């Protein structure tokens, strides 16, 4: 369980940090307000990303095993 929690925290951290940066950049471009808006978006994105990653982790792992066994 500890391994799953750490993996979930790190994966959701990385994904929400990068995705919130990308979406903030697409919406604002580079501006003086960019960093503050990015961090605000990140703070909102990380908690649900962590919950979603924790819930979807096991089914995604099972689907990966299933698909990998059937690929050449």
In tens, the pLDDT along 4-54 reads 999 999 999 999 999 999 999 999 999 999 999 999 999 999 999 999 999
Query: Using CB atoms within 10 A of its CB, is residue 19 exposed (0-12), middle (13-18) or buried (19+)?
Result: middle
Q: How many structural domains compose the chain?
A: 1
CA-to-CA distance for 6 and 48, rounded, in angstroms?
A: 16
CB 45 within 8 A of CB 53: no
**Enclosing domain of residue 7:** 2-70
- pLDDT for 61 beyond 90: yes
59 to 19, 52, 65: CA distances (angstroms): 23, 11, 10
């Amino acid at each position: 369980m500890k391994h799953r929690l750490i993996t979930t925290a790190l994966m959701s951290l990385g994904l929400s940090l990068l995705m919130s940066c990308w979406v903030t950049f697409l919406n604002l471009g580079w501006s003086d307000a960019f960093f503050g808006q990015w961090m605000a978006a990140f703070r909102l994105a990380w908690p649900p990303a962590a919950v979603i990653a924790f819930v979807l982790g096991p089914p995604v792992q099972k689907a990966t095993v299933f698909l990998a066994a059937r690929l050449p």
